[in-house]
Amino acid sequence: MTKIINFKDILLRKKMEEENKAEKIAGYSQKEFKIAATVVKLIHDHMTEELEDPLDVIHYHASTPKLFEQNSVRFGGALVSILTYWNIDIEKVDFIGKEFSAFPTVESICLYVKDFAS
């Protein structure tokens, strides 16, 4: 008995697999990647020291107090920009005055955004 192969199904399956791979970048979903990219960009925009390439220094486990040289005003501005970008209600946040302890790393900001972004 011979097996009939439907090449359209094979091509469709390959296309679906490729699209699934495209949505996963280094184990992160497309939304997680977009969150990380925008967080890094907005942090870079508010830092005290200008960097040539923000991805060289700003990584997922980077320390926010070090990035902002303990300047809570600049860090607060970055957080407001991030929350505004992701439509997170700033009125409901409870970390005002304790930004660095609430968000010690870039990762902690990304996780917060992931949990509360619409």
**CATH number of the structural domain spanning residue 77:** 1.10.1200
Residue 76 half-sphere exposure toward CB, CA atoms < 13 A = 11
- Whether 58 and 43 have beta carbons less than 8 Å apart is answered as yes
Residue 101's pLDDT is 92
pTM of the model: 0.71
Query: Is residue 18 a part of any domain in this protein?
Result: no
Structural domain boundaries enclosing 61? 28-116
Q: Quick one: pLDDT at residue 37?
A: 86
Q: Tell me if 54 sits within 8 A of 44, measured CB to CB.
A: yes
Tell me what the mean pLDDT of segment 55-78 comes to.
85
9 is a domain residue: no
Is the residue at 68 inside a domain?
A: yes
Interval 12-24: pLDDT, tens: 567 656 655 555 5
Count of domains observed in the chain: 1
